[in-house]
Structure formats: structure tokens, C-alpha cells
Amino acid sequence: MKRLFLFFILSAAFPCGLFASDSLPFPVSLGGQAAKDGTPFAKIENPVVADAELAVESKSDLIIVNVNLVNAKNEPVPGSTPAVILLQGKTKTTIDKTMDGKKLSVGNYIMSVVSEGKTASILFTIK
């Protein structure tokens, strides 16, 4: 009976995403580097260039990416404006393709990638 109870709990846990990662619910890579899961944010280990390729493994027709400049505590820099990147009908682009046309400057960033009703939060650095 205990095994049956455990089976039902585990069966319910998987569809609810209980074992899914909070920071990286789907694979994302930047500049050829896969984001590594972490707490509270996933991370791109090595700095990337300002026109690095962004790839999201998703079946969604629309992927929304918000990119915010962060300080040493990984908090958004006051007064900075987030950059927005849209991927419509595709899963790859470069991070210089922002909605406002402005390139990201050298610094540390957090990228929120929204797809399939989930959000991947990834720290990265532009060199």
C-alpha cells in the first residue's frame, strides 16, 4: 500500500513541475554556451560578445526576452531600462536585436526568457 501511495505522489509531482528547475525550466544557450542551472538564477559561465547568438529550446511561437543590467548583488541597476528581444516563429537570434535597436553595453545582466508559460532567469556578462 505504501508503494502505491508513493507512486501516486510521484505521478502527481511530475506534471506539476515539482522536480523542474526554478531558474531554468527549458534549455537556453548564449554565445554557444549552455546556461547552467543555479539558485536562484541560472548562469552563462564565460563572458559573451554584444552580438552573441541566443538559442532557446522551445516549441512556442513567441518567446519574449527581457534583459536588465545588474549590479554586483545581481539586482537591477536603478534607472536602467530593460531591453526587450522578441523571437516570433523562431528559436534563435542575437542579443543585439533589441526592440529599441540599441546594443547592450559591457556589463553584467540578467535575462528573463519567457516561453511556454515559464520563465528562465539567466545571469551573463558582456565583455
Question: In this predicted model, which residue has the larger pLDDT, 53 or 12?
Answer: 53
DSSP3 helix / strand / coil % (the chain, rounded to 5): 10, 40, 50
* Domain extent listing, the chain: 22-126
pLDDT digit string, tens, across residues 71-123: 999 999 999 999 999 999 999 999 999 999 999 999 999 999 999 999 999 99
Q: Are 81 and 68 in contact (CB under 8 A)?
A: no
pLDDT digit string, tens, across residues 26-80: 999 999 999 999 989 999 999 999 999 999 999 999 999 999 999 999 999 999 9
Question: Residue 99 has which C-alpha cell?
Answer: 526592440
Question: Residue 21 has which C-alpha cell?
Answer: 528547475
Average pLDDT of span 10-19: 41
Distance from C-alpha of 25 to C-alpha of 112, rounded to nearest angstrom: 11
Residue 5 has pLDDT above 80, yes or no: no
Task: Please give the pLDDT value at position 94.
Answer: 98
Task: Please give the pLDDT value at position 64.
Answer: 98
Q: What is the pTM of this model?
A: 0.82
- CATH class belonging to 22-126: mainly beta
